[in-house]
Amino acid sequence: MLKLSSSRVLLPALSHPLSHLLALSVLCVASIGQAYAHAHPESQSPLAGAAISAPQEVRITYDDALEPTFSSLIVSDAHGKQVNSAKAVIDATTHKTMRVPLPVLPTGIYLVKWVAVAADGHRTQGGYTFTVK
């Protein structure tokens, strides 16, 4: 029969240093998914580098829901002048598509600059050009 002295206390499994390391490892692995929660473009129209006739809007769909207050989409001409007067709108259903209407654009190269803030607060940004022919 096994007897324990009254001065000996059995501690939970996490009292062992290796248990602490294991618990920390599990927490780190569990948080990896959150580190990749940035919103990145899945599709865009017009496409980067495209030469098109008369785009009516710029539309970018992301792989994560966006925060409308902090996300933006700006289209500028070759001289850096912003050509869209309206603020970008984010789809109310999926919260993943941001679009901005465009006026009739003259022939030239245009730069799209976007800032996407995911619903969890992570910020990404980028840009690309397209040509109106």
pTM of the model: 0.73
Higher pLDDT, residue 30 or 101: 101
DSSP the chain: -----TT--PPPGGGSHHHHHHHHHHHHHHHHHHHT----EEEEESPTT-EES--SEEEEEESS-B-TTT-EEEEE-TTS-B---SPPEE-TTTS-EEEEE--PPPSEEEEEEEEEEBTTS-EEEEEEEEEE-
Q: Is the pLDDT of residue 124 over 70?
A: yes
* pLDDT at position 12: 52
Amino acid at 127: G
**N-terminal to C-terminal alpha carbon distance within the chain:** 91
Domains present along the chain, CATH in parentheses: 41-132 (2.60.40.1220)
Higher pLDDT, residue 121 or 29: 121
Mean pLDDT estimate for the chain: 84
Amino acid at 38: H
Contact status, residue 101 vs residue 86, Cβ threshold 8 Å? yes
pLDDT digits (tens, 9 = 90+) for 65-105: 999 999 999 999 999 999 999 999 999 999 999 999 999 99
